[in-house]
Amino acid sequence: MLTVGDTFPAFKLTAVKGGKDGLGGPGAPFTEVSSDSDAGKWKVVFFWPKDFTFICPTEIAAFGKLNREFADRDTVCYGVSCDSEFVHLNWRLHNDDIRDLPIPMLADVKRELSTALGILDRDAGVPLRATFIVDPAGTIMHVGINGLNVGRNPAETLRILDALQTDELCACNWTKGEDGLNPIELFKAA
């Protein structure tokens, strides 16, 4: 599995557009998203096992609700599963929680990106609940992996992004607006 410090793999996938355009608004609901898309921005790339399941829409909707927060941090979010763009579109059309999702849903049908990252579940052959925070240079700065039956916390992903963007030492449970740790002050206090 790729991890912190590795380069996020190059990819080019078809996606359902985020927002109203992804529901058949002006133009086609599909677009191509690649590792070159949104150059110069931070990226949060999160994977889920399958569309039309139970835990997945709770996570996807939670990322969608925080999309403006991520955008305020010069960060784009991409959601990915091994379902096709047509399945993604159909799911959005029939699930109230993700109908207006502002995040593109990428189709890793050939499992090339999931395989390159090393996140396919050995038994089920679908992506684990993996989250990658990638800096503007394409370097993986954070990886979070959950099993198939436990959802992740997108608010924690946002907190970790905030900490990474400070370029400071951030303690456990640090939140945006707090000071980072000052090693010299810590040694003086000891």
Q: Contact at 8 Å (CB) between 78 and 45?
A: yes
Nearest Cα to Cα of residue 42 among 67, 18, 13, 76: 76
- DSSP SS3 for 46: strand
Helices 154-166, 56-65: axis angle to 10 degrees equals 40
> Can you give the length of the chain in residues?
190
Whether 56 is catalytic? yes
From the candidates 56, 77, 82, 170, which is the catalytic residue? 56
47 beta partners? 80
Return the ∠ at Cα 131 (arms to 147 and 2), rounded to 5°: 90
Residues designated as active site: 56
